Structure 1
Amino acid sequence: MQVSVETTSGLERRLIVGVPSSRVDSAVDSRLQEAAKTVKLNGFRPGKVPMKVVRQRFGQSVRMEVLGQVMNDSFYEAIREQGLKPAGRPEIEPKSMEEGKDIEFVATFEVFPEIELKDYSSIEVKKPVAEITAADLDKMIDNLRQQRATWQAVERAAVEGDQVNIDFLGTKDGEAFDGGAGEGTDLELGSGRMIPGFEDGIVGMSAGEEKVLALTFPEDYHSEELKGAAVEFKITVNSVNERIKPELNDEFFKMFGVEEGGEEAFRAEVEKNMARELKNAVKMRIKNQVMDGVLEVHSDLQVPKALVSQEIDALRNQQMQQFGALAEKINPKDILPDELFSENAERRVKLGLVLNELITSEKITADSDKVRAALEEMASSYEDKEEVINWYMSQPEQLQQIEGMVIEEEVVEKLLEKSKVSEETLSYEEVMSPPAKEDEED
């Protein structure tokens, strides 16, 4: 077998492989001889069909099968011989396939980049330091009460935060437009559900009152017909309801699994959950800074287009799950083109390649004690913690995810040892609010 390798551009390689005709011929003969033992043709007893006839009837189709197998096997032999690591499937183009002559084919593919781990001392990380104050706890408890509030009809003018039930009709140049009407619609004032000025215009109205609002659709509105359009909305308020928050009593506490101990036990439980969320938010902020630093250090690293394409498909499939049954009726690329995911996909591929190299070079593994600790922390919010832990331990795929999380944390710790770390004092709310879009994407 003759092999030559060309670098066409970047990570792309062109492999030219020549295979002796004897390898193909012997494989074809072997398959035909096996077939002759069982082949059935009219006029011949089973297994007694002359080889010449077998070759005439089946020789061409068998040869095509053998050529495909030989090219596939020869490709993998060639890359092992040349020490190449393909990233993605190759494109194989036959060049010479004539019977009785040596065959030749060209395989074009990308290879994994050679990754040289860099000096990570230039990475700067600000470690958030925050405490949960009494005011933070009070605000969280108020939020929980807000989430479980009920609505009660009131005989007064609506204010922001109230829920109104309305009928409305929108017109443009005196004509109704699609999506501009509703009857018996509940709307919380201040929610931002409607276009600017709509909810503000209802503030001060009472049940039974009507009003016409002259408004303008935003220039970036999704409907071409309504972008920047001047419209009028006729609004009728059917009812005004104010939010009634539940009292801090045993019934309310039981909603959160606090059966005894009263308000003191409830506040302790809420604070414990806040502390867990704060810890995770701090870890995420640190991780994102470390990963951003790794990407900056390896900014010149080329990544295989094939891997980026696979990652784009994976991200798109995740998004398509939100469409439910509708996803089966639409082409994903029509509504979610590659451009939406390309930047994030390249980021993820690059990080994956670098971190895998770091894991290998540092011999990082999932320490069993740390895996157990991670499981215990995850199970801490459940009533039967041991049952949850045992379930994860009995599910290989789920356990593998936990092990991956532990390895990731070990990688971050290794990189922090090499980075410049300083502390940054922040409030609880500042830590819990993502500082950049990347936090959500990762």
Structure 2
Amino acid sequence: MAVNVEVLEKLERKITLNVPVNAIQGEVETRLKRLARTVKMDGFRPGKVPMSVVAQRYGNSVQYEVLNDKVSAAFNEAANEAQLRVAGQPRISEKESSTEGFVDFEAIFEVFPEVKIADLSDLEIERVNVEVDDAAIDRTVDILRKQRRTFAQRGKEDAVQDGDRVTVDFEGKIDGDAFAGGKAEGFAFLVGEGQMLKEFEDAVRGMKVGESKTFPLAFPADYHGAEVAGKTADFLVTVNKVEAANLPEVTDELAKSLGVEAGTVEGLRADIRKNLEREVKFRVQARNKQAVLDALLTKAELDLPNASIQNEIARLEQGAREELRQRGIKDVDQSPIPAEIFRPQAERRVRLGLVVAELVRANELQAKPEQLRAHIEELAASYEKPEEVVQWYYSDRNRLADAEAVVIENNVTDFVLQQAKALDKTIGFEELMNPQAAQTAEA
């Protein structure tokens, strides 16, 4: 029987569902009989409750369940017969009048859109390349040395320098009043490593043991402490101890202490290079992928199903609440979060998902088993026991699906760059690893 699909607006459709009354009644009777064999009621032995009593007690709820099941089955059958790709859940309501022998329903729903992707050959997309040079390896070696540094107390006449560990007492006041978290004794931090606000580090730098200083400190507007954010405090700081850092020499002994198999400086640098090249590859892929997806959206024409957008908004809102919960915010579920603030991001995600899916379908860009295996093995290579990490991925369908999604996106990136005009650009290692710092330096 042909399904009559009515187009309402853009992606919205309507169909009528006819559910036979005798099919509903038959299924209700079957379920009530099954229930009667196990139901327990006062005054009756198990399995001996009369059907009339079971029907009186449970008839309405069973009827409701059966009706839902029958309507859902009828909708799925109609959608499949009409070859409709349904987006989200349908809104189903019973019609005021029904065909004789049937209960009629109307189902209003959305379908996934037709995605039109224009010619990609005139797209210009920046494709970055990064080389892991000796300077990058040197910086990594320095980081490893800092992680193993020791400290020795400076002389009383030695001034605080970057890299020193200082121990201070401090107290801050705003308009003469103390505030929570504004006072500490015997507080230690490393100067020049961003552990304290810049004004605090600038004030302490150059001081000597026993010296005190009063200075103003303006808290940023986005400071994590809401009580002081955007306000200026007057701080009194006293330096109690200054310790200079001693970094280990770059020797074979250092390499051995870091677990380098070769146990040599050359082996250490080789291991660092391999790890950095792996990290650089992943970051370059991510950056180029973002450039491709941004460009791809300019070539796509499609309507967005509201059901998909609402589902994505709900996921984003849930993620935001979970993040607040992890930060220790109380009563997160009762906190008002306007859903509309997630709409732009949700619309972009839905649009990208539909465009990428169409590109994958039309050009057979699905992840091949060997691609997926190679990707997971590459992810696992940086761990002490790679084979266990590989097994960890393959033991969970969700983790495997996440890895597969990355491979598919990489396939899409490669495909689009082959079709478009790729503008190759070599950037520095630091710019790739710390893009915000590079932008700040340029400004």
Report the TM-score, using the length of structure 1 for normalisation.
0.81
Pair 1:106–1:193, CA change in 2 (3 A): farther
Q: How far is the alpha carbon of 1:420 from its aligned partner?
A: 0.9
* Partner residue, 1:65: 65
Q: How far is the alpha carbon of 1:152 from its aligned partner?
A: 2.8
Pair 1:161–1:341, CA change in 2 (3 A): farther
Contact kept? 2:116, 2:302, Cα under 8 Å? no
Counterpart secondary structure, 2:288: helix
Q: Identity of aligned pairs, percent?
A: 39
* Residues 1:240 and 2:242 are matched in the alignment: yes
Counterpart secondary structure, 1:178: strand
Residue-by-residue CA offset, 1:165-201 (whole Å, 9 max, x unaligned):
1211112232212222122222333344545522212
Q: What code does the residue aligned with 1:69 have?
A: D
Contact kept? 1:392, 1:399, Cα under 8 Å? yes
Deviates more, 1:98-107 or 1:347-356: 98-107
Deviates more, 1:119-128 or 1:390-399: 390-399
Contact kept? 2:289, 2:409, Cα under 8 Å? no
What's the Cα RMSD here? Answer: 4.0
Instruction: Map 1:88-103 to 2 at 5 A.
Output: 88-96=88-96, 102-103=102-103
Q: How far is the alpha carbon of 1:290 from its aligned partner?
A: 1.1
Q: How far is the alpha carbon of 1:26 from its aligned partner?
A: 4.5
* Partner residue, 1:266: 268
* Partner residue, 1:287: 289
Q: How far is the alpha carbon of 1:389 from its aligned partner?
A: 4.9
The 2-side partners of 1:56 and 1:425 are apart by 77
Counterpart secondary structure, 2:92: strand
Q: How far is the alpha carbon of 1:392 from its aligned partner?
A: 5.1
Q: What code does the residue aligned with 2:80 have?
A: R
Pair 1:310–1:188, CA change in 2 (3 A): farther
Q: What code does the residue aligned with 2:208 have?
A: S
The 1-side partners of 2:229 and 2:388 are apart by 55
Residue-by-residue CA offset, 1:96-120 (whole Å, 9 max, x unaligned):
4999985343333332112234322
Deviates more, 1:147-156 or 1:1-10: 1-10
Pair 1:65–1:369, CA change in 2 (3 A): closer
Instruction: Map 1:97-136 to 2 at 5 A.
Output: 102-136=102-136
* Residues 1:147 and 2:147 are matched in the alignment: yes
Counterpart secondary structure, 1:121: coil
* Partner residue, 2:411: 410
Instruction: Map 1:199-348 to 2 at 5 A.
Output: 199-219=201-221, 221=223, 226-298=228-300, 300-318=301-319, 330-332=331-333, 334=335, 338=339, 341-348=342-349
* Partner residue, 2:177: 175
Pair 1:175–1:394, CA change in 2 (3 A): closer
Deviates more, 1:91-100 or 1:185-194: 91-100
Contact kept? 2:213, 2:237, Cα under 8 Å? yes
* Residues 1:370 and 2:371 are matched in the alignment: yes
Pair 1:48–1:255, CA change in 2 (3 A): closer
Contact kept? 1:96, 1:103, Cα under 8 Å? no
Counterpart secondary structure, 2:298: helix
The 1-side partners of 2:78 and 2:205 are apart by 75
Deviates more, 1:1-10 or 1:37-46: 37-46
Instruction: Map 1:340-359 to 2 at 5 A.
Output: 341-359=342-360
Residue-by-residue CA offset, 1:376-398 (whole Å, 9 max, x unaligned):
43344456655655665566655
Gaps of 5+ in 1: 438-442
The 2-side partners of 1:30 and 1:341 are apart by 47
Contact kept? 1:96, 1:102, Cα under 8 Å? no
Q: How far is the alpha carbon of 1:248 from its aligned partner?
A: 1.0
The 2-side partners of 1:370 and 1:26 are apart by 52
Counterpart secondary structure, 1:120: coil
Counterpart secondary structure, 1:74: helix
Deviates more, 1:184-193 or 1:222-231: 222-231
The 1-side partners of 2:233 and 2:45 are apart by 87
Pair 1:142–1:360, CA change in 2 (3 A): same
The 1-side partners of 2:353 and 2:135 are apart by 41
Counterpart secondary structure, 1:13: strand
**Aligned pair count?**
435
Residue-by-residue CA offset, 1:46-67 (whole Å, 9 max, x unaligned):
7795x77776666544433333
The 2-side partners of 1:295 and 1:15 are apart by 32
The 2-side partners of 1:278 and 1:228 are apart by 37
Contact kept? 1:250, 1:259, Cα under 8 Å? no
The 2-side partners of 1:340 and 1:45 are apart by 56
Contact kept? 2:325, 2:332, Cα under 8 Å? no
Deviates more, 1:97-106 or 1:110-119: 97-106
The 2-side partners of 1:38 and 1:228 are apart by 67
Deviates more, 1:120-129 or 1:189-198: 189-198
* Partner residue, 1:163: 165
The 1-side partners of 2:40 and 2:138 are apart by 86
Deviates more, 1:409-418 or 1:12-21: 12-21
Q: What code does the residue aligned with 1:429 have?
A: E
Deviates more, 1:145-154 or 1:326-335: 326-335
Gaps of 5+ in 2: 439-443
Residue-by-residue CA offset, 1:234-268 (whole Å, 9 max, x unaligned):
21212122222221123321243314352222222
Pair 1:364–1:171, CA change in 2 (3 A): closer
Q: What code does the residue aligned with 2:144 have?
A: L
Q: How far is the alpha carbon of 1:138 from its aligned partner?
A: 2.2
Q: How far is the alpha carbon of 1:374 from its aligned partner?
A: 3.0
Pair 1:267–1:66, CA change in 2 (3 A): closer
Deviates more, 1:246-255 or 1:400-409: 400-409
Counterpart secondary structure, 1:231: strand
Report the TM-score, using the length of structure 2 for normalisation.
0.81
* Partner residue, 1:440: none
The 2-side partners of 1:386 and 1:222 are apart by 41
The 2-side partners of 1:388 and 1:221 are apart by 38
Contact kept? 2:152, 2:246, Cα under 8 Å? yes
